[in-house]
Structure 1
């Protein structure tokens, strides 16, 4: 896959697809070209049946993502038209990540700020090192925050913590993030990558159709009742029961062996 920027890298390791924000000199601040490359990588993983789990991480060890690259704002985000164009490109990448039918894990070390939090919220799970810190400094910059970004945070941590995070614009440490429900786990720094690797491998070994169905059903559960697609909810369940993997799972259980799932 040929990307438009070297500041995003993709690496396939068996069933795990890795996405690395590779801009350590700027604490992995995301440029417009990086947003475009992220969309390309996610689309590639979406179409690759061999990839069953996707992990996002930041290069350099000091940050996951420190937000959008503010140095570009004067040129690419200073007028209503450029703000709209920037939003459309970044939103396209975020939506592709959120809607990817495969489980996604944000592996967070160091700073996770602004757009970094938004990217982490677009993932299904967030695993953080004990030196991680989180902030959404929109109120310190005077910028508006789109509804979808606010809703993602409210869905995860609830309205009271979402208000605190946005109103104060202050930094929260990993344990505070864990207590708010912003992250799933906090690990010692030297154990984080091995833990994420093991977790991703465990997920990849399970039935892909079942895992994908749960991702769909959780997303539907978070919608207002009037917006839910009941037919889709039933279809993803029916597809599991009609699959070869369901037959394989039953056979493996009876034969006391590990199942070999194919996603069909």
Structure 2
């Protein structure tokens, strides 16, 4: 698949390497990667396009430059989020992006540096795995703006950081450092600087990409079923798990183990 030009034109840059690792970059560093309404829609489109492509094995989300994302561009709010009707439309675009990340068939990794506020934190919370530089800062400033945070995004924060931390972030609007975010379980790990962040994100994504895609997808579905407890999610997880038993990849995994060589998985 060629790069999504429409998304690229709207400050969402997408690149997939030869191993199937897709990097999605929020590319507006002059505004701390704050997302415009069009950028929210472009982000959802890019994740849907690449997350549903069988050639994709993992997705890394990052911000261009120093910051991950300052969230939604407040400069648009008077015009595009000025009353209940426009606010609902704007929130729908936010939720579509969060849902695309949350529901992607492949694992998603947030590589976070600098500011990760508001909708930016929502993007990170929707990912499966989060790593950050030691100077990263996290904040949910909705109450300082007089807004409510979307329910689905709050669900992601509760799942990723825990109930008490979600309450603290939402009620206080205080900034949380990377050390405390890791202690809360929101971050898998922290690294020293941007270069280390990029290297570690690439390492994690590369490790995932080398594994059997059907197995990884089944594991993601199983984790989702545990969190949601929805019968439909449980059923899907069972179906995806069953697909692995008769797959070529399962046969390849057994043969590679027998021959003491690295497996070559095709995703079928």
Q: TM-score, normalised by structure 1?
A: 0.95
Is 1:158 the counterpart of 2:140? The answer is no
Q: Deviations over 1:52-99 (max 9, x none)?
A: 1100000112x1011100000000001111111111222112111110
- Structure 2 contact 165–184 (Cα < 8 Å) conserved: yes
Match of 1:3 in 2: 6
- Structure 2 contact 138–175 (Cα < 8 Å) conserved: yes
Q: Tell me which of 177, 184, 187 is aligned to 2:181.
A: 177
- Structure 1 contact 28–66 (Cα < 8 Å) conserved: yes
Match of 2:79 in 1: 75
Give the Cα–Cα distance (whole angstroms) in 2 for the partners of residues 192 and 150 of structure 1: 26
Is 1:197 the counterpart of 2:197? The answer is no
Q: How does 1:220-259 map to 2 (within 5 A)?
A: 220-224=225-229, 227=231, 229-259=233-263
Q: How does 1:53-202 map to 2 (within 5 A)?
A: 53-61=58-66, 63-189=67-193, 190-202=195-207
Q: CA deviation at 1:227?
A: 4.4
Match of 1:45 in 2: 50
Give the Cα–Cα distance (whole angstroms) in 2 for the partners of residues 174 and 137 of structure 1: 17
Give the Cα–Cα distance (whole angstroms) in 1 for the partners of residues 96 and 45 of structure 2: 10
Size of the aligned set, in residue pairs, is 262
Q: CA deviation at 1:39?
A: 1.6
Q: Deviations over 1:182-226 (max 9, x none)?
A: 1111011141111111111111000000000011010110013x5
Question: Which secondary structure does the structure 2 equivalent of 1:263 belong to?
Answer: coil
- Structure 1 contact 109–129 (Cα < 8 Å) conserved: yes
- Structure 1 contact 221–228 (Cα < 8 Å) conserved: no
Let me know the Cα RMSD of the aligned residues.
Answer: 1.3
- Structure 2 contact 160–185 (Cα < 8 Å) conserved: yes
Give the Cα–Cα distance (whole angstroms) in 2 for the partners of residues 51 and 151 of structure 1: 26
- Structure 2 contact 221–233 (Cα < 8 Å) conserved: no
